[in-house]
Amino acid sequence: MALLEVKDLKTSFFTDAGEVKAVNGVSFELERGKVLGIVGESGSGKSVTAYSIMQILAPAGKIIGGSVKLDGQELIGSGEKVMKTVRGNKVSIIFQDPMTSLNPTYTIGSQLMEAILLHTDRNRKQAKERAIEMLKLVNVNEPEKRMKQYPFELSGGMRQRVMIAMALACEPDILIADEPTTALDVTIQAQILELMQSLQKELGMAIIMITHDLGVVAQMCDEVIVMYAGNICERGTADEIFYNPQHEYTKSLMRSLPSANSAGTRLQPITGTPIDLLNMPKGCAFAPRCDAAMKICITKPSPEFEVGDNHTSRCWMCAKNAHSSGEALMEIEGGENNE
């Protein structure tokens, strides 16, 4: 059984302008000790997916359907009491901006000890020892001194280390990292990524890495989910996604990146602008920007095609190569002939 099973998760935000389907039927599984990357552009629903798992959505956001099972236990509808034992204990999250996610009015030490006191039966003295031990684990120098300092006294990289220490203090099974290095400089990012990698090996937790940076994904992840407009468009191992992408969106995303050899050549951008979640098209969400769009892409969203070992894609273009696609192929041809 997978550690985390997400099935047909749907989360919407109810705004004055209408319902925004931020996550629209997302399903995936996460095995123990694996690193899963979720990539996508802003508004693709990658963060909302994570917040829905943790049930820490903004008031306008509601989970309107689906299931999230942690170790076989259903979390959706389980109630706040159960979630309190999950958050920070079994599943932890670190955010993009370590300044705003730490409380500026409390010392590092008291914020670190809070989680430990809440979720374990350690007393204050033991909690303090544990907190110092965690700071050492994440390579914060002079941990005793840091315990008494406030967040503003630390640099961005140090704060992110403190966040990681806090997230890992109760030895969670899953660490969700929401753009953990986006606010950091390149050399500091390298430090934090290396730290996360070594802690992952040492503690054996699973990581969900949410990022828009395909470089970070290539470095960190075993498996990758590519999201667009609230939906998973492609899922597979990192190697499959990078070397054998099947969805037209993934393909064009890979093509649009500047690379070592691209100097002097023109980049191949994705045309158009990102989708407006209030006015979702009827068919595939990417169809309006897709160079290969067929008639059926505009009228009907694509089902999930199995395109390889543990590799799926929601793109009508895959129908031709997929194993079980006789029906789908007929549908495409039908759509084309109707012209």
Q: Which of 254, 280, 293, 298 binds other proteins (CB under 8 A)?
A: 254
Strands 35-39 and 4-15: unpaired
3-state secondary structure of 200: helix
Q: Which of 47, 111, 189, 312 binds other proteins (CB under 8 A)?
A: 189
Does position 292 interact with other proteins (CB under 8 A)? The reply is: no
Bridge partners (DSSP) listed for residue 311: 308
Q: Which of 67, 78, 110, 191 binds other proteins (CB under 8 A)?
A: 191
Identify which of residues 115 and 270 has a Cβ nearer to other proteins in the complex: 270
The Cα 128–Cα 263 span in angstroms is: 53
Does position 242 interact with other proteins (CB under 8 A)? The reply is: yes
For residues 192 and 157, the answer to whether their CB atoms sit within 8 Å is: yes
Identify which of residues 61 and 245 has a Cβ nearer to other proteins in the complex: 245
Does position 149 interact with other proteins (CB under 8 A)? The reply is: no
Does position 79 interact with other proteins (CB under 8 A)? The reply is: no
Which listed range, 15-23, 92-100, 251-259, 301-309, lies at the site for other proteins (CB under 8 A)?
Answer: 251-259
Q: Which of 15, 100, 103, 268 binds other proteins (CB under 8 A)?
A: 268
Which listed range, 3-11, 102-110, 130-138, 211-219, lies at the site for other proteins (CB under 8 A)?
Answer: 211-219
Does position 260 interact with other proteins (CB under 8 A)? The reply is: yes
Does position 270 interact with other proteins (CB under 8 A)? The reply is: yes
Work out how close the CB of 247 gets to other proteins at its nearest, in angstroms, rounded to a whole number.
13
Bridge partners (DSSP) listed for residue 35: 207
- Reported as type and span, the H/E element at residue 116 is helix 108-119
Number of residues that bind other proteins (CB under 8 A): 45
Q: Which of 218, 280, 293, 298 binds other proteins (CB under 8 A)?
A: 218
User: Looking at residue 17, what DSSP letter applies?
Assistant: T
Does position 263 interact with other proteins (CB under 8 A)? The reply is: yes
3-state secondary structure of 332: helix
The Cα 113–Cα 125 span in angstroms is: 10
Which listed range, 82-90, 162-170, 235-243, 306-314, lies at the site for other proteins (CB under 8 A)?
Answer: 235-243
Does position 245 interact with other proteins (CB under 8 A)? The reply is: no
Q: Which of 56, 267, 278, 330 binds other proteins (CB under 8 A)?
A: 267
Nearest to 162 by CA among 152, 151, 148, 177: 151
4-15, strands of its sheet edge to edge:
18-30, 4-15, 61-70, 73-74
Burial, 123: exposed, middle or buried (Cβ in 10 Å; 0-12, 13-18, 19+)? exposed
Q: Please report, as residue ranges, which positions from 12 to 71 form the binding site for other proteins (by CB under 8 A).
A: 41-42
Does position 273 interact with other proteins (CB under 8 A)? The reply is: yes
Please list, in sequence order, all residues whose beta carbon lies within 8 angstroms of the beta carbon of residue 66, skipping any fewer than 6 positions away.
Answer: 6, 7, 8, 9, 10, 25, 26, 27, 76
Please list, in sequence order, all residues whose beta carbon lies within 8 angstroms of the beta carbon of residue 15, skipping any fewer than 6 positions away.
Answer: 60
Which listed range, 28-36, 239-247, 308-316, 323-331, lies at the site for other proteins (CB under 8 A)?
Answer: 239-247
Tokens for 109, please give them.
Answer: 């030490």
The footprint of other proteins (CB under 8 A) covers 41-42, 155, 157-158, 185-191, 193-194, 212-219, 238-239, 242-243, 252-254, 256-260, 262-263, 266-271, 273-274, 289
